[in-house]
């Protein structure tokens, strides 16, 4: 399974820090830690590719590469999220969404196949099992917040862990 993880773009506002970041030699103020956590919880044999729209554009070839797309968003990113979902659905992709915006809004995300409400650490493993059985539900909701100890890939996803020293299925380069 090939998974494309997408962090939507922050609009040009005070909080995006777009104009201040170059002074620090940075391109984005907020790394997509939620998507990185989700990636770590996915089965080790699944391929992953991360696109942060704050530092690079989403190419059609990235969407076409994927079997499924995971996206997250904060409230300020909702318009970009909706564009990402629409674009991926137009390419025939299954789309999974979650994150603070999805969790705290009463709006739905049009076109999303699966919605995660709350922390994915407690629901992602069930989704993976349901997906394998062909019975994935449209909505997964965490009953409570997970303990911080439960966020490690070994405890949260039944021992699924990416091979050490490898990124996206390729050997890691020297640091």
Q: What is the pLDDT of residues 94-139, one digit of tens each?
A: 999 999 999 998 677 889 999 999 988 889 999 999 999 999 999 9
Say if 94 falls within a structural domain. Answer: yes
pTM of the predicted model as reported, rounded to 2 decimal places: 0.80
Report the CATH number at residue 104.
Answer: 3.40.50.280
Count of structural domains within the chain? 1
Give the span between the Cα atoms of 132 and 130, in whole angstroms: 5
Say if 170 falls within a structural domain. Answer: no
Domain around 43:
2-165
Alpha-carbon radius of gyration of the chain: 16
* 116 in Cβ contact with 143 (< 8 Å): no
Give the span between the Cα atoms of 116 and 96, in whole angstroms: 8
pLDDT of residue 108: 78
CA angle 36-126-129, nearest 5°? 100
């Amino acid at each position: 399974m090939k998974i494309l993880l997408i962090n939507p773009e922050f609009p040009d506002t005070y909080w995006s820090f777009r104009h201040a970041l170059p002074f620090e030699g940075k391109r984005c103020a907020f790394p997509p830690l939620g998507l990185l956590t989700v990636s770590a919880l996915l089965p080790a044999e699944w391929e992953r590719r991360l696109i942060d729209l704050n530092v690079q554009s989403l190419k059609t070839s990235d969407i076409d590469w994927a079997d499924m797309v995971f996206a997250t968003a904060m409230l300020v990113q909702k318009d970009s999220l909706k564009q990402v979902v629409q674009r991926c659905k137009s390419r025939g992709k299954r789309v999974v969404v979650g994150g603070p915006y999805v969790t705290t809004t009463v709006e739905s995300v049009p076109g999303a196949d699966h919605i995660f409400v709350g922390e994915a650490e407690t629901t992602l493993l069930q989704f993976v099992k349901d997906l394998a059985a062909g019975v994935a539900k449209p909505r997964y909701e965490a009953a409570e917040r997970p303990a911080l100890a439960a966020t490690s890939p070994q405890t949260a996803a039944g021992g699924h862990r990416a091979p050490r020293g490898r990124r996206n299925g390729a050997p890691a380069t020297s640091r």
